Amino acid sequence: MHPQDLVLRELHDLDEFADVYALFDRVWRPEPGEAPVIVEQLHALAHTGNYVVGVYLDGRLVGASVAFLAMPVGEVLHSHVTATDVRRGVGFALKRHQRAWAIERGLSRITWTYDPLVRRNTYFNMVKLGARPEGYRVNFYGKIDDAINGGDETDRLLMDWRLTGPEAIAALDAPLVARAPADARAALSVAGDAPVARPTDAPVVTVDIPHDIETLRVTNPAAAKEWRYALRDVLGGLIADGATVTGFDPKAGYVVER
């Protein structure tokens, strides 16, 4: 599949919103009553000028994203939920479209939340897009029972994508892979399935995460829960103390500067 094979367009019809709802249901597989959005909400959001966009491949809906205008007025678009059932390239195409849509409307930032334990999403958000965390939110949505969250507490990083900032511009040309400096110290590392936290007062630290937390939630739920609390304590604690996440090193994890 090539990006040029994809068709991205804003959605307006109830039948289109029903297709988006069905796509989200296939991807997230939520418990009854826990769908991230419903058809009526999609209709209301689109009707009031917000971002409700579908991605089509050979006439079939393969991805969708829903975002709404946020504070400060005229500056921010908040991306609420995005899902695809064809992995390669669809999410990136959606984000590039969302960026162009926002810039055309005079917006300068897109924000969203994501689970900081999910490695592929961390790589996508920080390396492929050049977005950066602006806060750590503990159990932001409460416990969610679906195929992805598996009843885990929903700690989230709040991402801030400065659409014309240097990181975003650079990421348009090549992934922004960070390399932890030689004197960085590991504040959190991986040992088998388990997290290992170490106290460190180094000016630059790394915070690693599991290779595949979603599989770990199934194969070793106790370890997955241990990871949630360890990352909350270490990464959440660093951010609360004023440290800045400056990048993601695929070998060492989050690069954090005090």
Question: How does DSSP assign 38-63, residue by residue?
Answer: -HHHHHHHHHTT-EEEEEEETTEEEE
Coil vs helix vs strand at 255: strand
> Rounded distance, CA 128 to CA 257, Å?
21
Give the number of domains in the chain.
2
Same domain, 96 and 207: no
Q: What residue ranges of the chain have pLDDT lower than 50?
A: none
pLDDT recorded at residue 228? 97
Same domain, 126 and 9: yes
Six token digits for residue 98: 């969302």
Residue with tokens 């005229």: 74
pLDDT recorded at residue 148? 58
Q: Which of 20, 12, 49 is nearest to 36 (CA)?
A: 20
Q: What is the pTM of this model?
A: 0.93
- Does residue 54 sit within a domain? yes
Same domain, 90 and 138: yes
pLDDT recorded at residue 146? 54
Same domain, 53 and 124: yes
Same domain, 138 and 11: yes
Last residue of a domain, one of 148, 173, 198: 173
pLDDT recorded at residue 255? 98
Residue 89 is part of which domain span? 3-173
Coil vs helix vs strand at 177: coil
> Rounded distance, CA 122 to CA 127, Å?
8
- Does residue 37 sit within a domain? yes
Same domain, 190 and 168: no
116: domain CATH number is 3.40.630.30
Last residue of a domain, one of 109, 143, 173: 173
Same domain, 111 and 145: yes
Distances (CA, A) of 134 to 107, 108, 143, 196, 242: 18, 15, 22, 25, 10
pLDDT recorded at residue 177? 96
Six token digits for residue 102: 């926002």
